[in-house]
């Protein structure tokens, strides 16, 4: 894959999109940013932004012309009624993969642990989940992410479109409850994961658990060795701070997905950018 071509980042106006736009621009990548919402920050050097709806396949195809990678962080990022999720998360994803097929671009898809959220949390002595585990989505949102991962599998098998699914746990500046001591992905680890995806010489179709090096992670084997990524951060440093905070109803303590958007937090409403430490 050529690093001198621009990179398309969807969902650029969301919390993770804004962080990645700033971080990747700081690493010298040329970026095309897009979102249905305006970009709220100062434009990073080497980046350009255009508002677009993922359901507008013609515009998505135009934005993808000449790119080497599509970092797909766009779409509905909380659980909503099915009709609200269908367009952006299913039809919109089809437009992303069709654009990637035409351009020969590599896709990085922001999947979610909610695609497997109804697996029970491992107890002491239980095996952690591997990336080839059965999908068990816990919501329409999680179902859309399972669909997205399967679409990536099909586009690799049928069209040779390289793609990677980041099965993101809980990507915040800090964990906010006990569950996130297992599922937390630091902002810095996500940026390093994306950079490793961009620079990997060969990818194929891959699934990676999006969590930091947390000793109590629910998840184990994946394809991270294929891109040479290893997380550097660890949620255990926050145990004294959040280890007694339980998310949502007690029943949700049994499932890996937990309460959806625990305590009102979501990836779309993160702390301010100046709270991020990407060094």
Report, as residue numbers or ranges, the catalytic residues. Answer: 141
* 254, burial (CB in 10 Å: exposed 0-12, middle 13-18, buried 19+): exposed
- How many of the other CB atoms lie within 10 Å of CB of 274? 6
Please give the Cα distance from 106 to 161 (Å, whole number): 6
User: Residue 167 and residue 211: Cα distance in Å, rounded?
Assistant: 8
Per the listing, tokens 């952690």 go with 128
- Rounded to a whole number of angstroms, the CA Rg of the chain reads 17
For residue 14, what are the contacts with CB-CB under 8 A and spacing of at least 6? 35, 37, 73, 74, 77, 267, 268
C-alpha 17, offset from chain centre: 10
Name beta bridge partners: 251: none
């Amino acid at each position: 894959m050529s690093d001198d071509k621009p990179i398309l980042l969807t969902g650029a106006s969301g919390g993770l999109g804004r962080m990645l736009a700033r971080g990747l621009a700081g690493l010298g990548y040329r970026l095309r940013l897009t979102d249905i919402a305006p970009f709220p920050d100062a434009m990073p050097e080497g980046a350009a932004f255009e508002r677009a709806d993922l359901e507008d396949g013609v515009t998505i195809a135009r934005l993808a012309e000449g790119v080497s990678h599509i970092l797909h962080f766009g779409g509905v990022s909380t659980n909503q009624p099915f009709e609200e999720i269908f367009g952006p998360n299913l039809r919109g994803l089809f437009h992303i993969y069709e654009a990637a097929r035409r351009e020969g671009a590599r896709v990085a898809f922001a999947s979610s642990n909610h695609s497997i959220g109804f697996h029970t949390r491992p107890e002491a002595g239980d095996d952690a989940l591997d990336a080839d585990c059965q999908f068990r989505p816990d919501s329409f949102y999680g179902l859309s992410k399972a669909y997205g991962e399967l679409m990536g599998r099909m586009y690799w098998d049928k069209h040779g479109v390289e793609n990677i699914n980041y099965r993101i746990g809980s990507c915040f500046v800090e964990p906010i409850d006990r569950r996130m001591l297992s599922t937390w992905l630091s902002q810095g680890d996500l940026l390093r994961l994306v950079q490793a995806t961009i620079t990997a010489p060969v990818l194929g179709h891959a699934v990676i658990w999006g969590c930091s090096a947390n000793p109590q992670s629910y998840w184990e084997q994946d394809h991270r060795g294929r891109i040479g990524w290893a997380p550097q951060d660890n949620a255990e440093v926050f145990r004294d701070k959040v280890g007694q905070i339980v998310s949502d109803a007690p029943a949700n303590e049994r499932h890996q997905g937990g309460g959806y958007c625990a305590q009102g937090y979501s990836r779309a409403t993160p702390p301010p950018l100046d709270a991020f430490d990407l060094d």
